[in-house]
Structure 1
Amino acid sequence: MRAFVITGPGRAEVQEVEPPAPGPGEVVVEVERAGVCGTDMEFFSGAMAYLRTGEARYPVRIGHEWAGTVREVGDGVDPAWAGRRVTGDTMLGCGECARCVAGRQHLCADRYEIGVRNGWPGALAERLPVPVRALQPLPDPVDPVLGALVEPGGNALRAVRAAAVAPGERLLVIGPGTIGLLAAMIAVAHGVEVHLLGVNGRSLAFARSLGFTQTWTTPPEPPLRFDAVIDASTGSGSPALALELVEPGRNVVFIGLSAAPSLADTRRLVLKDVTAVGVLSASGGLAGAIDLYASGQVDPRPLVAATVPLDEAAAVLSGERRPSWGDAPKILIDPRLG
């Protein structure tokens, strides 16, 4: 089968590789869409932290946002899974350690991450092996495009839940990229007043095209009362800013990662009695994201700029964009094309 393989920093190619066979408790999925995100771009550039810690090494087969159809089932798997449309969790815990038993399998020290950690192959390929326990079935209203957006949507949903904002309250989202915009959409669906803060005028203009009228490149003056702040940016100064802007006694959620260490003054955290929450992965948010998409409460399709074949993945990862794509942040890959 064809698969996209990163062989070193800035080097990648589509290769013919052995197709996967399902092991016990596994299925093989025919991939219909796979999303490209910042983590994938870091693997391509060589900046991904796991490459330095040894949790990942070249060659790497990326792709952890995906949707497809189950084509093969392994021993111990209900045959009814065959032919079902699915997406799935990126985080594959061992299932036996204390964290896994307690429901925190996404933090398992020995976990695999599909297309990311410990060599589990990713979804930029025609077929993908997945443990059946990680699967999430997709209802008919959730097409492959929406299915590939479930993983980022699950991340965003977990961030909104952690923000703990009620209908009518005011949420600030820092960073109007895919995760930030999804968090904003989900919050609006729950009746929250959303404001977006970013540094790029074009990304904020795109946010306004989606109906978000309260957008900022600098904090508003006079200061507004933000009942929660979600930092979905890559700016190293954003965590400290989030802490300054949040209302005392409320929540700041960190889901973005900066390339350099980011600092926040814990004295402000204590004196404002703020709760700080970190969110890693969509685990625990996948089913909720599917429900939001299936019901029509959230429609993330406008976030998709284009769908391209595997042969164009390297160009996308290097940051190339066609003018016709506009300013939507997400690029999808269809491994069946070309």
Structure 2
Amino acid sequence: MKIVIYNINSFGGNYEYAKALFDTTQKWGKIERCSLLVPTISPLADGPNLCKILMSDKPGMSNRVLRQFHFVYRSFVNPWRFYKFLKKQQPSIVVFNDFDQLSSIVWSFFFNKLRKRHLFGVILHDPDRDHYFAQKGISAYTMKKVMSIMDVAFHHGYIPTKSYYSETLRKVEIPHGIYTPAPVDAGFQSFLREQKGRDNLIGILGNIRDEKNYEIIIESLKNLPNTKLLIAGSPASSSVNTQLYREKIRQDGLEERVIWVEKFLSDNELIAAITVCDVISLYYKETFTSQSGILNLIAPFKKRVIVSNGESSLKQVVLKYQIGVLVEPGNKHAFVETAQKLLTEEQQLFDEKWTKYLNDHSWENNIKTIVKTFETLKPGS
């Protein structure tokens, strides 16, 4: 059996997921060959079956318009490169760990021609695609084109009822494996501890995107004495204007209580940030249907988490294992109360729950489920 994994980014949660899948298939020994397609600038060391053929997702220009043009351009170029790659491959299982929704109207036509040779599956890290474009109808139409080539959709516990997920589509839940923590960046950890001082620290980590409710959490600091906020990460795309958040911090007079680190965090720096935080915020807006992957970066450190009560697989996992507290989206008062409660509860209560969660997840189980599912399918069926 041959597997091809497609991942359009060289950083972020989906990239880490793709790396874990690729590494697991190499170690498992039951896959004839697994190829991973990533951008040319991927920091992964060159090796067998690692195909760095996709366009860079880090344009070398600061002009916002040019960066947006680059994003659109690579949304067309990458699927075309992938199509030409697959045309040369023997029959394979093709796993879209990410996809180019913007250009799906074009590339789905060509990929449909490959369905007689290959089996196609997609891992839905963010299954609610209604807000990919400003117009919901366009979002639904382009996502329907993405799904038109898929034989199976994999998810981590939740798929919303949407027109682009047909009733006949095979939907399979897969476990989200636990990431092996990278070594801590001692220098960055020391810096954060110095900035934190004796205060509690709430962290919003990773790609900066509007869906992470920065405004509400920044405002909540006014009602959380002896508490600071860490915002650390780089903008998720060229459309994110971080100056708006920094201006709010200034207007609210919270410059001394917000640790702002706007940069791409290396794996080592991200782990350092997690270790220093007392509470991690996964308090997303209702427009963002989050999967549960971020929990697996936090899990080894058994941190307390605040999670949005909006429908998502993240919510389902938190409910099942009781490893965090759910808060209604957009409710600042509820967020403040929850943060106050978490910061005073005994850590031992969370240690026991996190241990059960850790025991139930593995990347090998993830790959086994994917392979077992495809074994029952035939190309073109």
Q: What TM-score, normalized by structure 1, do the two folds share? A: 0.28
**Which of these two proteins has the greater Rg computed from alpha carbons?**
2
User: Which structure shows the bigger proportion of residues in helix conformation?
Assistant: 2
User: Which structure shows the bigger proportion of residues in strand conformation?
Assistant: 1
Q: What TM-score, normalized by structure 2, do the two folds share? A: 0.25
Higher relative contact order (CA 8 A, sep 6+): 1
